[in-house]
Amino acid sequence: MSAIYIYDGSFSGLLTTVSSLLLSGDAPEAITTSPPIQGDLFISLISTATDDEVAVRLAGDIRKKASEEVFRNCIYAFLAEENGCEKQILAYIKKALVIGPEIVSYHHDDDVIALHGAVKRIRLECHRLKGFLRFEQLKGGLLYAPVEPVHNVIRLLAPHFAKRLSTQKWAIHDRIRHSAVLFERGRWALFDVLSTELPEPDSREMEIQRLWRAFYSSIDIRERANPKLQRRLMPERYWKYLPELSVNEERGKEKGRENPYNDRL
Amino acid sequence: MCQWAMIYLYRLCQNLHQEILTTFMSETVLKKLEVLSAAAKYDVSCVSSGSSRKEQKGGLGNASPSGVCHSFTGDGRCVSLLKILYTNNCIYDCSYCVNRCSNDIPRASFAESEVEELTMHFYLRNYIEGLFLSSAIFRSPDYTMERLVQVVKNLRVIHRFNGYIHLKALPGADHQLITEAGKYVDRLSANIELPTRESLHTLAPQKDGAVILGTMKSMSTEITRYKDEKKRFKSTPSFIPAGQSTQLIVGASPESDSTILTLSEALYRKLSLRRVFYSAYVPVTTDPRLPLMSSPPLQREHRLYQADWLLRFYGFTAGELFSCGRQNLEEGCDPKVSWALSHLECFPLEINSAPYEMLLRVPGIGVRSARKIVSARRHHLLQGEDLKKMGLTLKRACYFITAAGKELHQDAMNDVIMRKNLIRSGVNDDGGSRGKKKREISRRAGGYEQLTLFPLESEESTAAEYICTAHGEL
């Protein structure tokens, strides 16, 4: 009989579930974090308690029998948070343990294609946000960057900015998942955001944003206008927090807001 | 009480004064920024890749080898660097350039501190990957170069800025200055602009092709010397880690694509340039020496970039792209398709056995797909279905490959039919005079027309001569 497996939403939880499924050899109907709202008589619900020891052992197995890269792919696919990613990860791990490190070149295999696709998408978003992320300097010196990514990328962005802005104090706030990375004195950590009360922007912040907007509009070559290309390379979902795209500014004005921070808090 | 009020008032005035002063300052910087970024925008290079500058303790920033785009302009160009001129006051009068001294436009010059401050503030907020500093020639090449070197030196030493810096090497500036600059920057570039000495002489009479090439050559020698030294001493300080690049203007002078690409090839092979950029000439001035056109030749620029990629990543040579005496790339189809159609004897290829170098020559298969095929076929006999699953677009490739012995299309292998299927516009260019006419038409269909050609059309032979001499010089 098929079953839906419930885990606690953590990567350790998923690895625990995967480990028990590999032992029993069962094919699950689904692996999710929450039971379906409408129950089904013929499908049983099985919840697994997260066991860090089991998870660590499986992680070690994947690293040893396959490779570090394969394990990283699993983490990326997990963070991509796409529908049904848990089952994809199960199938990928199952094959990886048999085939070994060569699994990454099985470009014709459906399970591998599915997982590598998710990895590709999250890496693309991560790379894009390395560019499209914008910090604002707040009073007291904190650099604050709000983002609304499709995938759960902020912890993948953190090491990049930790190297780059190593002398600063900064925060990247995922406004969809209500979590944030804080960086101070060379170390970063991930926090859940319960409430955001931010200081006012620094006195020079608006002036710098104005300068940036002026730069952006003056480098445009009108004779070569190609808005379609622009949208393809920089999808509109990222525009919200870009100071150079004045739509943002106008939207603020329309609603009669003077302080652009009001809607962000 | 009165005294307190006085002090309070005095403080208030002082603050107010400070505020007015900063607003005033930022107003001037804003004006300068507008003028000097608009003046720099026709330089198409905005690449921040190729350098992996490690972060330093107490410093700000690093450079990532893949490069990062921070925004895209309305024309779809990547904004990666703060691209500005130090000044647009120029002593030269090059006819194709917005900043030529005879042009009546607003002029401005930055102060060193202004450039440094803008770079630091923008970098901190993740607006940019670094600085691209160029300049018009003010007073003399040496004088201007000195200013530029001072800015990058301050950024690295005083501000401890560790992001990407691209600096223009001004042709004719002292060799020592350029070597000094090389210690601080990631990339140096000198623009050739016009591909032959004759065009340069006509359109930019004050510039000398030999001087530009000389500057590039000396940079190249320095880079080679540095690489040798690095092998012996690991601690050798970096020298232009992202190499040098240059730019050629397309459409302002009568050179053919063949001339342009032969020059690019020589630059890649002999001076180990990292990039040659092609900039479709945007009519910014009216000058009798320049062709009249309604819009820039963007399609031609696009084809040149495609051909450039073929030279750098696909193992093609410029000569191969211009077989059968053709001088220009076909506008209606990409250069790889064009090459494949005139070399049908090489196809079809069996993807399960063809060498990597040949897979790269199949239209529709790029570096990534070719690598995927090579690694996947070790475990599995690839079928047509597998290729689709791997994400290959078979629209063009299907005519040139077989998978496990099976053909992937139903059409007959016939040049005419293939052309029809491969080229959207259906232009059949066979290189003769008829083809030339059609090319003219397709050009018009491509969205621009060249109204008057440069009067001296027989220049091509002298152009070739120049290339020969250039080869000799390199």
Residue among A212, A215, A220 minimizing CB distance to B75: A220
- Tell me the shortest Cα–Cα distance from B240 to chain A, in angstroms: 20
pLDDT at A23 over 50: yes
Q: Strands B401-403, B187-189: parallel, antiparallel or unpaired by DSSP?
A: unpaired
Q: Minimal CA–CA distance to A99: which of A108, A82, A54?
A: A108
Q: Which residues of B fall within a CB distance of 8 Å from A222?
A: 74-75
Of A27-36, A179-188, A237-246, B437-446, which one has max mean pLDDT? A179-188
- Tell me the shortest Cα–Cα distance from B35 to chain A, in angstroms: 8
Handedness of CA A214, A215, A217, A219 (dihedral sign): positive
Residue among B55, B77, B372 minimizing CB distance to A164: B55
Domain spans, chain A: 3-125, 133-264
Mutate to test the interface with B, among A160, A164, A238, A245 (most CBs of B within 10 A): A164
* pLDDT given at position B466: 35
Q: Which residues of B fall within a CB distance of 8 Å from A110?
A: 389
* pLDDT given at position B460: 33
A188 touches B: beta carbon within 8 Å? no
Q: Which residues of B fall within a CB distance of 8 Å from A232?
A: 76
- Tell me the shortest Cα–Cα distance from A157 to chain B, in angstroms: 13
CB contact under 8 A, A105 and B379: yes
A242 touches B: beta carbon within 8 Å? yes
Domain total for chain B?
A: 2
Q: Strands A44-47, A143-147: parallel, antiparallel or unpaired by DSSP?
A: unpaired
Look at residue B244 and give its three-state secondary structure.
Answer: strand
* pLDDT given at position B15: 55
**What's the Cα-to-Cα distance from B62 to each of A175, B184, B370, B375, rounded to whole Å?**
27, 13, 32, 34
**What's the Cα-to-Cα distance from B390 to each of B12, B264, B362, rounded to whole Å?**
69, 34, 16
Residue among B29, B282, B382 minimizing CB distance to A211: B29
Note whether residue B283 is domain-resident: no
Please, what is the Cα angle at A21 between A20 and A22, to 5 degrees? 90
Give the residue ranges of chain B where pLDDT is below 70.
1-25, 411-417, 420-421, 423-474
Q: Minimal CA–CA distance to B216: which of B196, B239, B245, B248?
A: B245
Q: Is A159 exposed, middle or buried (0-12, 13-18, 19+ CB in 10 A)?
A: exposed
- Tell me the shortest Cα–Cα distance from A163 to chain B, in angstroms: 6
CA-nearest residue to B369 within chain A is A107
**Beta pairing partners, A182:** A171, A189
Note whether residue B470 is domain-resident: no
CA-nearest residue to A218 within chain B is B38
**Beta pairing partners, B247:** B277
* pLDDT given at position A36: 74
Kindly state the percentage of chain A with pLDDT values over 70.
91
* pLDDT given at position B11: 58
Q: Minimal CA–CA distance to B254: which of B307, B206, B297, B311?
A: B297
* pLDDT given at position A145: 94
pLDDT at A112 over 90: yes
Of A75-79, A254-258, B67-71, B101-105, which one has max mean pLDDT? A75-79
Note whether residue B376 is domain-resident: yes
- Tell me the shortest Cα–Cα distance from B386 to chain A, in angstroms: 5
Helix (H) and strand (E) counts for chain A?
A: 9, 8
- Same domain for B212 and B356? no
User: Which of B183, B218, B253 corresponds to the end of one domain?
Assistant: B218
Q: Which residues of B fall within a CB distance of 8 Å from A211?
A: 26, 29-30, 33, 118, 121-122
> Rounded mean pLDDT of A125-142?
93
Residue among A137, A167, A216 minimizing CB distance to B58: A167
* pLDDT given at position B452: 27
CB contact under 8 A, B75 and A136: no
* pLDDT given at position B2: 56
CA-nearest residue to B125 within chain A is A135
CA-nearest residue to B23 within chain A is A207
Note whether residue B237 is domain-resident: no
Note whether residue B438 is domain-resident: yes
Residue among A163, A168, A214 minimizing CB distance to B33: A214
Q: Minimal CA–CA distance to B136: which of B77, B182, B87?
A: B87
Note whether residue B430 is domain-resident: yes
- Same domain for B196 and B51? yes
CB contact under 8 A, B375 and A107: yes
pTM for the structure as a whole: 0.81
* pLDDT given at position B330: 85
Identify the domain containing residue B66 by its residue range: 44-218
- Same domain for B212 and B345? no
Q: Give the mean pLDDT of chain A.
A: 86
Assign residue B175 the CATH number of its domain: 3.20.20.70
Note whether residue B325 is domain-resident: no
* pLDDT given at position B440: 37
CB contact under 8 A, B60 and A106: no
Report the C-alpha gap between B184 and B239 in whole angstroms. 7
Note whether residue B139 is domain-resident: yes
Q: Give the number of C-alpha atoms closer than 13 A to the C-alpha of residue B22, restricted to the C-beta side.
A: 11
- Predicted confidence (pLDDT) per residue in A29-64, tens digit: 889 888 777 767 777 888 888 899 999 999 999 999
Q: Which residues of B fall within a CB distance of 8 Å from A107?
A: 372-373, 375-376, 386, 389-390
Backbone angles phi, psi at B247, to 5 degrees: -135, 140
User: Which of B149, B184, B218 corresponds to the end of one domain?
Assistant: B218
ipTM for the complex shown = 0.87
User: Which of B177, B197, B218 corresponds to the end of one domain?
Assistant: B218
CB contact under 8 A, A216 and B73: yes
* pLDDT given at position B17: 53
